[in-house]
C-alpha cells in the first residue's frame, strides 16, 4: 500500500486529491489548519486509511512535528498550500506581501526540504501545486502579477530542490498546473471541476513516477513551458 502526504488538503483541489488517492487504495496523510478542514476530510470514503494533521506550511515548528509523525516512507509528498492576490494589489502592503510569498513559494519549498529524506528513493515523488500563470513563456497578457511571480519563484525553488537532494536520491519533482478549476480561488466560471482536475493530476504523477526529473506538467497530460 502506497503512502501520500498532502500538505493543504482541507478544501478545493487538496481535498479532491485526498479523495482520489483514497479511492485508489492509498494510505493518506493530510494537513489542515482548522476543524472545518478536518471534518471535510473525515467524510471521505476510505477514511480508515486517512490520518489528519494540523500544520501551517509557513511554520517551521509545524513542519518539523509533521516530519516526526511520518513513520513510513512517503511515495508522494504533495505541497498544495497557496493563496491568490487581489488583481489590483501591486505589493504596497509589504507585510501582506511577505505572508503571500511565504505561503505560495517559500513555505512549500522549505517544507519539502525538511521532508525530502522521508520520500522514498528512486520511486518517490515531490509535487508542488504550481499554475500555468507561473510560466514566463505563456504570460502574454499580464495581470495577477504577484500571483504569477509567486508561482514562478516556487518553480525555480523546486528546480533547486531537485538539482540538489532530489537528484541525489533519484526523487521525481513535479511542478503541477491544475487547470482553471471551480474552487474558491478559481471561481464558478472556471472550466473544469475539482474531480476532473484531481484525477488528471494523479494520472500525471503516476505517468512521471520514476523519471527522476523535474517537469512542469498539466493536469491534462501536457507539458507547460517554463
CATH number of 58-218: 3.40.50.720
Read off φ and ψ for residue 187, nearest 5 degrees. 85, 165
Question: pLDDT tens track of the chain, all 226 residues?
Answer: 999 999 999 999 999 999 999 999 999 999 999 999 999 999 999 999 999 999 999 999 999 999 999 999 999 999 998 888 665 455 567 788 888 999 999 999 999 999 999 999 999 999 999 999 999 999 999 888 889 999 999 999 999 999 999 999 999 999 999 998 988 777 788 889 999 999 999 999 999 999 999 999 999 999 999 9
The pTM of the whole model exceeds 0.85:
yes
Contacts of 121 (CB under 8 A, 6+ apart): 169, 170, 171
Report how many helices (DSSP H) and strands (DSSP E) the chain contains, helices first. Answer: 8, 7
Amino acid at each position: 500500500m502506497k503512502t501520500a502526504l498532502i500538505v493543504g488538503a482541507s478544501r478545493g483541489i487538496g481535498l479532491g486529491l485526498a479523495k482520489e488517492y483514497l479511492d485508489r487504495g492509498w494510505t493518506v496523510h493530510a494537513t489542515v489548519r482548522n476543524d472545518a478542514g478536518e471534518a471535510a476530510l473525515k467524510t471521505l470514503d476510505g477514511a480508515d486509511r486517512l490520518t489528519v494533521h494540523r500544520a501551517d506550511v509557513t511554520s517551521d515548528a509545524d513542519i518539523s512535528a509533521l516530519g516526526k509523525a511520518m513513520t513510513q516512507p512517503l511515495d508522494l509528498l504533495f505541497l498544495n498550500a497557496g493563496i491568490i492576490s487581489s488583481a489590483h494589489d501591486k505589493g504596497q502592503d509589504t507585510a501582506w506581501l511577505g505572508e503571500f510569498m511565504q505561503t505560495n513559494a517559500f513555505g512549500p519549498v522549505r517544507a519539502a526540504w525538511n521532508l525530502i529524506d522521508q520520500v522514498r528513493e528512486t520511486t518517490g515523488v515531490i509535487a508542488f501545486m504550481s499554475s500555468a500563470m507561473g510560466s514566463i513563456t505563456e504570460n502574454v497578457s499580464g495581470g495577477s502579477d504577484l500571483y504569477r511571480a509567486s508561482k514562478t519563484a516556487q518553480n525555480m525553488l523546486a528546480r533547486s530542490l531537485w538539482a540538489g537532494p532530489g537528484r541525489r536520491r533519484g526523487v521525481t519533482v513535479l511542478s503541477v498546473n491544475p487547470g482553471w478549476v471551480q474552487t474558491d480561488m478559481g471561481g464558478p466560471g472556471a472550466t473544469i471541476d475539482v474531480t476532473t482536475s484531481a484525477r488528471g493530476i494523479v494520472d500525471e504523477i503516476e505517468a512521471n513516477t520514476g523519471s527522476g526529473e523535474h517537469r512542469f506538467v498539466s493536469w491534462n497530460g501536457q507539458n507547460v513551458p517554463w
